[in-house]
Structure 1
């Protein structure tokens, strides 16, 4: 039997890490191709009729090659920085990535502006013809989004200033967090290692670690309020000049999702969320306390620690995947065997977990800190879901591989659900079933309460930020108010510095890095219900759905593959009814 490594193998992509000569040569090649594209786009004239599209048909393949290479480079840099926060050379590569990204953004802005100049009739005819037909959705999307932006010089200036402004603030946050340590019982832990201990069954340990983390984050809030205020300030100024009056425009466009869909989702959750309050009370009773605090919400209800070795967790996941999808199980097994996963529990790593894709190598890498908890097993399955999503996209043109966060979270949450549901069904005892069922119910609390708190916080923060800088004290207040509302005032103690500790608020890719998680969870519930109904015959239908995620809106995706309307509450109610079934079963079993 193969023994799976806890550390990943990056040498199969670029040998020697941040010192790699192979990486240096690769990036130099990408730089040359960007320079060539700049010249070609500069001389490119928007076609006046369908007979003049040859030049554009030569530029599009160049664009796809550069996107593939920049993504490959960026993924490798993210891996270097995550595995060792003290790798200074990796930090230099990150700066290089931002520089090349800005150059490419500028040339794409110029290209998009020229697409706008194409006459509407010519455009509509052109995108129905090869070689543009298979890229029609993406090209049309780029053209429509360009119509909403400023002129070429202004957009280029925004991109250039973003390197040492916008993106630099996000990079500053990552550096500060990476260097933070937390002393627990005379042991120096990274914030990621400390956060893992919040899932301990011992409340004294949870309380001690929570207090230590609060102390650590509170000591940095003035710095982190600077990063958050300047990130949001940069965005708001950009929106102002583009005449965008809604802060949700960018994240909704990015997620190819309508505001009606978002409102239907949150509105339906508000109808159902009260059902989780009795669960939180029951959990407090099972834990032997009067009322849960924030650090109790994710605590296991089992009296003893349930841990699983990395090897055991890997084999468990592969087995459960196989019962739904042999292809997904084979992929997961390959990922473990080839060392695509960094899971070692050690200091010096960034907190959190992610999956990143290497489209040129057609590989993926998964990053996390694995300590054997049920939550770690769930995270591992979650990230493998992301990896499988990219795996089935590899055969498509790279422009059609650009799926948004909400449908990305669908694939990952779906994979997580397969493992969780199978574990409950095959529980060896009622105690084990209760613990596993509670883990499923806990996901509902995370997506409908924790994520909702993040959404409420960010919505209100942006409104106040329009009036000026928001102090760290006010940020703490906004966070506590949002948590109190989202959890329906059912907790005894909240986490005021959550805005500082949660990386998602400081990511520069896109704001509102929250509601797509909830969308993905509920959308995957609908997919899972169909998969259970059809069985393994659904495997190919599932792959077809994933392959469409980069080339249509979520509303069209749902209509085509599930025959549902996401802008109406019916779908969301059906998905939430499935969540209620788990909740009801837990309440009966726990009584």
Structure 2
């Protein structure tokens, strides 16, 4: 799921906004491939059957895995057990995918909220009977399990078992793990739900209009400066009025994470995320340092240029993502967006485009804004026995086209990885953003090649630079903010004012002196959903963008055979490490110079803008 990024897009003119230009018929997803409705007999049966199957599974295998591993047919016996576990995981994943997607469609609907909450409780209870399985597998002697995993048919699960082994040093005693698991419903999950429902319910008064979060944020790309300012002030005012609740949610979840980290023995606040991402902390630290060192030649330099284009010494924060003065304005209908993306995907790989087209043809996308609908955008993988679903809030802006291209990249990746099965299809975040950012890059390059008007090409290039700054610089600033917040939280609760101070410090550092951060901006940390849903997720965007820049460089130099290698990388899902997957492209994220490749590409685009600006 991608966070809302305050990225710039060319706006329609003041008299022809995205609200008034016909967008065509926007699709709403059809969830019947999962279940027919909340009263579906199949849904009830799956819950009942899963509960019974989980108890039988526990009765069969609890306390017996070590003996199976030491037996004469260990590979066959363990493969049979893991296959049953995987089937249950897929069924429970289907149940929760349906409940969460239905809820995302309208989080204000009390019936859907109850349905989601009930499903979450029941699945948590059922999965408690399965919790022992991975814990016991990790108590098997390394040599014994390794010998069994080297033989068929168990060798197909070797990557999953290797991944599982990485969790071993941080596992707790079974009953403690079960307590953590069962308490999550009334702990972390409940606070996340409170955040979601709070943000969905908020309304922001902009020039007499009462707007939800998504429409308010979208006004930051309006052509009218007074409209952008009104949106910013409304956002700051309403967030300020709710900051005590939002600060309490943030403090509680940070402390909850700290308790878990302390029990498991994680030293650094982000170590659990690094483990989940299967990436070394040193690699992330190198990325952090490389991006922070590049602030002056990237974001600081670009925003100085943009301030000059606006004829001012400093840009107010509500103008940071504003359309460039006198830039051509256009709004893309849904049909135009679809054609643009599929054409760009097809030029790279017809197979890629064919999978993307399936999302349009089969009702796997939910596009229109609706009251209560979750803000932002995401591609939910659901389970390998089904297919992904995409949620966007499409308003016709060029940036909306890029967001759709981004989420379709996720969706294609998830489809390709599906055959690996429920245990090995999921991709660590270090690679999960690769296909999405690559999809954006393909769409941008295609649009640029087809744009003849010099002003439009200039605006398109500037928009891409801003997107990349928002993906790399801004997300690393978000990561730095999270680190500061979680580190301080270990010493006690933080006031909303203190959280705002931390936020302002990293924003000032990353955006530079050409951006004026006025009153109200200190509250903007409180609407970013990834701080709540997935702490420390955000560095994956910078990781993915720099990685894609490097991949695209390889593609431009040696296009022959690249698409096949790229699709093979996506098809691997979580069955290989990012190091293994990058090797066929000659890339190594452990190389100190790796991150500079991606950062240099952004700097080169800014150089091009400067050159075009001087020649105008």
Work out which of the residue numbers 315, 329, 354 in structure 2 matches 1:330. 354
Rounded Cα–Cα distance in structure 2 between residues aligned with 1:405 and 1:297: 28
Correspondences of 1:58-457 after superposition (within 5 Å): 58-103=80-125, 106-276=128-298, 277-303=300-326, 305-457=329-481
Q: Secondary structure at the match of 2:315?
A: coil
Alpha-carbon distance change, 13 to 243 in structure 1, aligned in 2, over 3 angstroms: closer
1:526 is displaced (CA, Å) by 1.7
**Bigger mean CA deviation after superposition, 484-493 or 31-40:** 31-40
Is 1:7 the counterpart of 2:28? The answer is yes
2:19 paired residue number: none
CA contact (8 A) 1:50 1:125 kept: no
1:302 is displaced (CA, Å) by 5.0
1:259 is displaced (CA, Å) by 1.3
1:496 paired residue number: 522
Q: Deviations over 1:378-433 (max 9, x none)?
A: 10000000000011112223211021222111110110111012212221211110
Q: Deviations over 1:29-81 (max 9, x none)?
A: 33333233332332533135252524422221111112222222222222212
Detail structure 1 runs of 4+ shifted over 4 Å in the superposition.
none
Q: Secondary structure at the match of 1:497?
A: helix
- Give structure 2 stretches of 5+ with no counterpart: 1-23
Rounded Cα–Cα distance in structure 2 between residues aligned with 1:11 and 1:120: 44
Rounded Cα–Cα distance in structure 2 between residues aligned with 1:490 and 1:39: 65
Alpha-carbon distance change, 345 to 480 in structure 1, aligned in 2, over 3 angstroms: same
Q: Secondary structure at the match of 2:558?
A: helix
Alpha-carbon distance change, 105 to 464 in structure 1, aligned in 2, over 3 angstroms: farther
Rounded Cα–Cα distance in structure 2 between residues aligned with 1:105 and 1:533: 49
Q: Secondary structure at the match of 2:33?
A: coil
**Bigger mean CA deviation after superposition, 484-493 or 427-436:** 484-493
1:11 is displaced (CA, Å) by 2.7
CA-based RMSD of the aligned residues comes to 2.0
1:255 is displaced (CA, Å) by 0.7
Q: Secondary structure at the match of 1:569?
A: coil
Alpha-carbon distance change, 587 to 25 in structure 1, aligned in 2, over 3 angstroms: farther
CA contact (8 A) 2:405 2:443 kept: yes
CA contact (8 A) 1:40 1:59 kept: no
Rounded Cα–Cα distance in structure 2 between residues aligned with 1:245 and 1:106: 27
TM-score by length of 1: 0.94
Work out which of the residue numbers 525, 531, 534 in structure 2 matches 1:505. 531
Work out which of the residue numbers 26, 29, 34 in structure 1 matches 2:49. 29
CA contact (8 A) 1:437 1:586 kept: yes
1:186 is displaced (CA, Å) by 2.8
Rounded Cα–Cα distance in structure 2 between residues aligned with 1:543 and 1:196: 34
Work out which of the residue numbers 55, 58, 75 in structure 2 matches 1:38. 58
Work out which of the residue numbers 487, 507, 516 in structure 1 matches 2:511. 487
Q: Deviations over 1:67-115 (max 9, x none)?
A: 2222222222222122112222221232234324534654454122212
Q: Deviations over 1:472-506 (max 9, x none)?
A: 11111111111111223431016312221101111
Rounded Cα–Cα distance in structure 2 between residues aligned with 1:570 and 1:253: 23
CA contact (8 A) 2:222 2:323 kept: yes
1:337 is displaced (CA, Å) by 1.7
Q: Secondary structure at the match of 2:381?
A: strand
Rounded Cα–Cα distance in structure 1 between residues aligned with 2:143 and 2:214: 54
Rounded Cα–Cα distance in structure 1 between residues aligned with 2:323 and 2:471: 18
1:564 paired residue number: 587
Rounded Cα–Cα distance in structure 1 between residues aligned with 2:205 and 2:95: 35
- Give structure 1 stretches of 5+ with no counterpart: none
Rounded Cα–Cα distance in structure 2 between residues aligned with 1:92 and 1:51: 49
1:370 is displaced (CA, Å) by 0.8
TM-score by length of 2: 0.91
Rounded Cα–Cα distance in structure 2 between residues aligned with 1:536 and 1:221: 54
CA contact (8 A) 2:283 2:590 kept: yes
